Chains A and B, each alone.
Chain A
Amino acid sequence: MGLIQREIEKAGVPTIGISIVRAYSERVRPPRTIFLKWPYGHPFGEPFHAAQQRVVLAEALRALYAIRDPGTIIDLPYKWRRERYEDKDIGAILPRGPQ
């Protein structure tokens, strides 16, 4: 996935990637990555858990604006099935435009 990400960025479009395997992202070095220590096949979490999926999406969008150094991997703190997402304020996670 990181190889495709690199090609898109090369062509002129900013990218953010979600990683489930940190070792892979460390080797491939895509421009911007958020990492979740979650099982394969679940980058946005559990099925029908919209609150959880919204938090991951907001974190990805935030990282697009927050990452300043090429190759940065942000380790997200969310533990698999050990978090409560319903109370999280999406507006507080989302970026407020380029600073």
Chain B
Amino acid sequence: MDPGRLKNRLIAKIITRFPSLADRFVVPYTPRDSLAIPWIPVIKSLEQSTIAVVTTAGVHHKDQEPFDMRDREGDPSYRTIDLRKGLSSLMITHDYYDHADADKDINVVFPVERLKEFEREGAIGRVADLHYGFMGHITGRHIPALITGSAPAVARKLKEDKVDLVLLTPG
């Protein structure tokens, strides 16, 4: 592994242990239209709703191309996660947080087993088959690619999938 990736992983381990350091490494991007917050009221009851997860924890299937960890500005692309392939088909590619615990139990960042329990118990209508994985830590020139490309593309797919509610989970 190249030294840059090792350095990123080391910083990720330190931040996970000392969360108060995180603010020094996070340079938030403020959207130009941040005063206008998009808003869609929740109309359907939870018991009738289909729920999907969109995660930025770097989750993808093992047979998909991993996220690009060499580009310092991140990787704005996404992966479609099909739950019918089973949890053992999933892995995490993300050097900017320590995912040792999520590697042991993916529900720490991608709570699909808990969602399935809620579905069986009747608390929620249905867990969607298709979910979407991004790698967080997207900066610089990739932000426009995310905002005008991959994020609206995933939003359209969620509409096509007839998803009623979306849960977003970070790494």
Contacts and interface: CB of A to CB of B under 8 A. Distances in A.
Given A4-B54, A44-B109, A48-B104, A14 B45 contact: no
B156 A24 contact: no
Which residue of B39, B56, B102, B154 has the most chain A CB atoms within 10 A of its CB atom? B39
Contacts of B115: 57
Given A1-B170, A29-B37, A95-B46, A8 B155 contact: yes
Contacts of A90: 123
A8 to B, nearest CB: 4
Interface in A17-44: 17-21, 23-24, 26-31, 37-44
Contacts of A98: 42-45
B23 A8 contact: no
Contacts of A4: 54, 56, 134, 146, 151, 154, 168
Contacts of A92: none
A6 B46 contact: no
Contacts of B10: none
Contact of A17 (B123, B156, B168): B168
A94 B167 contact: no
Which residue of A4, A38, A46 has the most chain B CB atoms within 10 A of its CB atom? A4
**Size band of the B side of the interface?**
35 or more
Interface in B29-71: 29-31, 34, 37-47, 54, 56-57
A42 B158 contact: no
Given A1-B168, A40-B15, A10 B124 contact: no
Contacts of A23: 23, 26, 28
A95 B124 CA distance: 10
A1 B26 CA distance: 13
A14 B37 contact: no
Give the top 4 A-B pairs by smallest Cβ distance, nearest first. Answer: A11-B155, A47-B105, A97-B45, A27-B28
Interface of A: 1-21, 23-24, 26-31, 37-48, 50, 53-54, 56-58, 60-61, 64-65, 70-71, 90, 94-95, 97-98
